[in-house]
Amino acid sequence: MSRNLRGLSSRRGLTDSLYGSIAGATGYDERLRDEELKAIAGGFMTGHAAVLGASTFYDFLQPAHYGKKVYMCDGTACLTSGGSDRVRRSLHEKFKPGEIGVMTCLGHCHSNNAFLVNGEIRLCGSETRPSAMMVSSNAEMPPLLTPVGDIRDYYSLAGNWAGKNDDALKELEASGLRGRGGAGFPFHVKVRSSRDAAADRKYVVCNGDEGDPGAFSDKWLLEERPHTVLFGMMMTGIITGADTGVVYIRGEYPLAVRRVREAVRHLEETGIATGKEGDPVTRFRFHIVEGSGAYICGEETSLLNSLEGLRPEVRTRPPFPAVYGLFGRPTVLSNVETFANIHFILEEGGATWAGMGTEKSPGTKLVSLDGAFNKPGLLEVKMGTPLRAVIDELGGGTRYPVKAFQVGGPLGGLVPVSRIDDLTLDFESFAREGFLLGHAGIVSVPEDFPVIRLLEHLFEFTRKESCGKCFPCRLGSARGYELLSGATGKNEKIDRQLFDDLLETMQLGSLCALGGGLPLPVKNALQYFGEELNDYFTSGEA
């Protein structure tokens, strides 16, 4: 069925897309909105149920969203720092309870005092930390923090590589660039697979749906270095033969959407990327798509379904996007930071970039530090940097006592302070020690913050954001939240064997990393904070 819907959606493409029509339906009255959706279904020759199913998936398109005037962040960093409570109290002085909504996350984890109103991020509370964040690096030539300069000179590098696609691909392979979205998959493998796939049309898609609480590196790149991302996408298109790029940016980042649109407009006005016939460098056309509030769209196949106007549930794989992606065509899909490294690699050489990291985790990595740090903000560090140096030297240590750091988002490992000296910032070190580097966002857990409350928050997050396609994630997250909320709110003991079975089912049976990844931080918590958690379990020790 989804292939048929995909085919119907592809008839109108990206300029007049099914997703754009669904997201743009403006009827706030439920009956009028339903009439709009029926008209959209008719125009795309698809069923009303399919369009309605896609529309009701997104937070921003829910009827409950319409009455909200302001949105606060309910991400992990704001929760653990107490920022959520401070912002909520401040907003209640100006808005009625029914006018206040929540979003996860607003990308101001470095300040913990942000809210969204009228499409703009605002900060509240003079007693909270300032919004300005530190941006620094321990690399002599930081590829991502270096300003771009004149864009004509910057993009001239693409012309230098025109006609030398194989050589460009070899540089990407020599660099060892691995996806920076969390999985760490070799980027050149995706590029080669897409290049070698036979198709009449190919795409490049940038995943800017950075929904992990604690991460704001992609947000910063899109706002402050959009051309590094756009160049990387265009160069990828030159290598693979794709002439169309899509930047999918989460709706919680309104400034990032505007900045990237401005950058694309600048490229079109200067003739660098127009989509017109002629020089192959100028034939690349960009489309900017704004998300509608769905964490799961950060998963690559869910994002593709969203772009196609389908219900953005996770696809089973194979086939992989590199050979069967957007509208069923070969698609290189990677995250913002990955594409942003390509200019440096092609300008300075893959070996130079690789030399800044380790053998298996080459290059640099952006690290987001939350508001607990004395120097909160964004770091670009060489892979292999000791975690202790990241926290104490580059981050300046924390403002208050901390017992653990969650690294890599809500699905990332929970690292107790006793294990910091055992880790270096690279994929292998974290995996070897039973943790996960992921996107390398760091959220601090204060000494007085209950671990049981953190676990309850993680299950609630997964329950709310699950696409619902597979039972282990959809039911497991709900059941886990029930057990934990019962323990915290009703003093109900949790059977340890039942809980372990639940974690195993989610880890082994979930289709994607949302349900499959949640057990990692939970197991870390049970391992390192068992004494604190024992009273919540009936049999065995936590």
Q: What percent of the chain has pLDDT over 90?
A: 74
Domains and CATH numbers, the chain: 2-56 (no CATH), 65-123 (3.40.30.10), 136-353 (3.40.50.11540), 360-439 (3.10.20.600), 451-536 (1.20.1440.230)
Q: How many helices (H) and strands (E) does the chain have?
A: 24, 16
Q: What is the structure's pLDDT at 273?
A: 85
Query: What is the token pair recorded at 371?
Result: 């508001």
Closest C-alpha to 446, from 82, 57, 64, 51: 82
Cα distance between residue 112 and residue 173, in whole Å: 39
Q: What is the structure's pLDDT at 27?
A: 62
**Mean pLDDT value across the chain:** 91
Cα distance between residue 12 and residue 125, in whole Å: 47
Q: What is the structure's pLDDT at 134?
A: 85
Q: What is the structure's pLDDT at 129?
A: 44
Q: What is the structure's pLDDT at 126?
A: 47
Q: Give, to the nearest 10 degrees, the angle between helix 451-465 and helix 519-528.
A: 170
Query: Is the per-residue pLDDT at 253 higher than 70?
Result: yes
Q: What is the structure's pLDDT at 218?
A: 96
Cα distance between residue 169 and residue 346, in whole Å: 9
Three-state DSSP at 245 gives strand
Cα distance between residue 423 and residue 435, in whole Å: 9
Query: Is the per-residue pLDDT at 317 higher than 90?
Result: no
* pLDDT per position as a tens digit, 476-492: 999 999 999 999 999 99
Q: What is the dihedral of CA 318, 324, 326, 332, to 10 degrees?
A: 90
pLDDT tier, 63 (very low <50, low <70, confident <90, very high otherwise): confident
Q: What is the structure's pLDDT at 279?
A: 54
Cα distance between residue 334 and residue 332, in whole Å: 7
pLDDT tier, 34 (very low <50, low <70, confident <90, very high otherwise): confident
* pLDDT per position as a tens digit, 321-379: 999 999 999 999 999 999 999 999 999 999 999 999 999 999 999 999 999 999 999 99
Q: What is the structure's pLDDT at 128?
A: 42
The residue type of 215 is A
CA max distance for the chain = 71
Question: Regarding predicted confidence, which is higher, 276 or 431?
Answer: 431
Across 34-57, average pLDDT = 90
Question: Position of tokens 């990327």?
Answer: 273
Across 173-185, average pLDDT = 91
Q: What is the structure's pLDDT at 28?
A: 63
pLDDT tier, 319 (very low <50, low <70, confident <90, very high otherwise): very high
pLDDT tier, 276 (very low <50, low <70, confident <90, very high otherwise): low
* pLDDT per position as a tens digit, 281-308: 557 999 999 999 999 999 999 999 999 9
Whole-model pTM? 0.94
Task: Report the residue count for the chain.
Answer: 542
Across 246-250, average pLDDT = 97
Q: What is the structure's pLDDT at 162?
A: 82
* pLDDT per position as a tens digit, 412-467: 999 999 999 999 999 999 999 999 999 999 999 999 999 999 999 999 999 999 99
Q: What is the structure's pLDDT at 350?
A: 96
Query: Is the per-residue pLDDT at 224 higher than 60?
Result: yes
The residue type of 180 is R
Q: Cα-flanking dihedrals φ and ψ of residue 351, to 5°?
A: -65, -35
Cα distance between residue 192 and residue 157, in whole Å: 21
